Amino acid sequence: MEYNVHTLPNGIRLLHVPSASTISHACIIVNTGSRDEPDGKAGLAHFIEHLIFKRTEKRSTNQILNRLESVGADLNAYTTKEYTCVHASFLNPYLDRTLDLFNDIIFHSTFPEEEMDKEKSVILDEIASYLDQPEEAINDDFEDMLFAGNSLGNNILGTAASVSNFTREDVINFRKANYRTDEIVIAVLGNYGFNSFVKKGTKYFADVEENSPTLNREKPVVLNPTSTNIYKPIMQSHCILGTQTYSTHDKNKAGLMLLNNYFGGNGMSSVLNLQIREKYGIAYTIESNFSPLSDTGIFSIYFGTDKDKHQKALSLIFREMKKLQDNPLNELQLQKAKNKFIGQIALSEENRIGLIISMAKSLIDHNKIDSLEQVFEKINKVTTKEIAGIADEVLAPEKLNIFTFSPILE
């Protein structure tokens, strides 16, 4: 897909992707997330993402929320371990309105104490709601175990104790230390000329003061695998198996993405779904995931099942991993896996807001954006030998951590 990039003197990058649609999609991404939080401040990046919608130097909360919604646009935001993202979808005439709002909430929020107190209560409710969903909570607890001693293990929402103790000074200091202008991308996919977009982007962001402290992230240590079982007042067993693995810069990333998709990724035809759910009817949800980060990655397998079927499901998963190691994919099987994955990637481009966010992240991570053809080329270059090597390394049972929520025994 065609794109252009312009870098402002303060380091902020403007990413332009042309589109003939009457609908535009935009995002502003900051390369900071929960892993950048100081000790004892888990949840601070997410807290700030909430607070930027509360009050700015020139707008009240209602004015912020209505600025785009009043013209039928959609505005939202999220925080991950490494990113903070605000995004919007809107009719083409409202680009100025969108960029102006992005500038206002990211760089001119005032963080009033009374709004902080209200938002703490909102987030505490959000934390409580996640604790009521074991399929969500187990993922956070698993990553806390996987990255023990490293801020990558921080729950993105934080804890009740950490959120309750946030101060306005914490918020201001975190933003100053982590909202680096050379790690910010403003991206727009829409029916505008590049020069026109650069002119508008310059109007709203060129005056932002340059801020470029050092990005200081501690690479996590790979710990010896452990097995943890926690009893909870739940009806089903929930389990995650996983390990640290390849980063977004690793040469094996494309191969593991392909293997993950084949083994337990998207669609009903994955190995795990066909064998565990369809053949044996054991687990309603069973899936694998690969999440590459800037200096490591997470591979995991999740399933939920009745407590009496837990061990059976676990043994079947290990059996399928061993089968994949003992009998690596042949050329025909690999080509089918590639066709499926490439088709899914092509269809995902129809999600325009997801596409522009993905492109903005790629610009931050790699300082370039691969075309769809280049992505397909990387996938098609993966060989059966590479897949076999990745399977041997990542699916080795002795390397996998196991984390389980079990129903309390009666």
Mean local confidence (pLDDT), 389-404: 96
Mean local confidence (pLDDT), 117-134: 93
Q: What pLDDT shows up at residue 44?
A: 98
Q: What pLDDT shows up at residue 112?
A: 94
Q: What is the DSSP string of 128-185?
A: HHHHT-HHHHHHHHHHHHHTTTSGGGS-TT--HHHHHT--HHHHHHHHHHH--GGGEE
**Residues 199-213: pLDDT tens digits?**
999 999 999 999 988
CA 274, CA 348: separation in Å to the nearest integer? 23
Mean local confidence (pLDDT), 38-49: 97
pLDDT band at 410 (very low <50, low <70, confident <90, very high): low
What token pair was written down for 335? Answer: 């080509």
Instruction: Please report how many Cα atoms fall inside a 13 Å half-sphere around the Cα of residue 60, on the Cβ side.
Output: 2
**Residues 126-169: pLDDT tens digits?**
999 988 899 999 999 999 999 999 999 999 999 999 999 999 99
Q: What pLDDT shows up at residue 216?
A: 87
Q: What pLDDT shows up at residue 130?
A: 86
pLDDT band at 266 (very low <50, low <70, confident <90, very high): confident
Which one-letter DSSP state was computed for residue 269? T
CA 129, CA 230: separation in Å to the nearest integer? 19
Question: How far apart, in Å, are the Cα atoms of 331 and each of 136, 197, 301, 377?
Answer: 37, 46, 25, 16
Task: For the chain, list the domains and their CATH numbers.
Answer: 4-205 (3.30.830.10), 227-407 (3.30.830.10)
Residue 153 in contact with residue 147, Cβ under 8 Å? yes
Identity at 7, one-letter amino acid code? T
Mean local confidence (pLDDT), 99-107: 98
Mean local confidence (pLDDT), 344-364: 96
**Residues 177-194: pLDDT tens digits?**
999 999 999 999 999 999
Question: If we measure between CA atoms, which residue out of 15, 4, 9, 3 comes closest to residue 361?
Answer: 15
**In b/e form, how buried is each residue of 25-45, taking b as 16+ CB within 10 angstroms?**
bbbbbbbbbbbbbeeebbbbb
Q: What is the DSSP string of 173-242?
A: HHHHHH--GGGEEEEEEES--HHHHHHHHHHHHTTSPP-------PPPP-PPP-EEEEEES-SSEEEEEE
Contacts of 351 (CB under 8 A, 6+ apart): none
CA 21, CA 11: separation in Å to the nearest integer? 29
Q: What pLDDT shows up at residue 147?
A: 97
Mean local confidence (pLDDT), 31-40: 96
Using DSSP, state whether 7 is helix, strand or coil: strand
pLDDT band at 218 (very low <50, low <70, confident <90, very high): very high
Work out the mean pLDDT of the chain and round it to a whole number: 96
* Cβ count near 61 (within 10 Å): 14
**Residues 267-324: pLDDT tens digits?**
899 999 999 999 999 988 999 999 999 999 999 999 999 999 999 999 999 999 999 9
CA 22, CA 256: separation in Å to the nearest integer? 37
Mean local confidence (pLDDT), 46-52: 97
* Cβ count near 402 (within 10 Å): 18
Whole-prediction pTM: 0.94
Q: What pLDDT shows up at residue 284?
A: 86
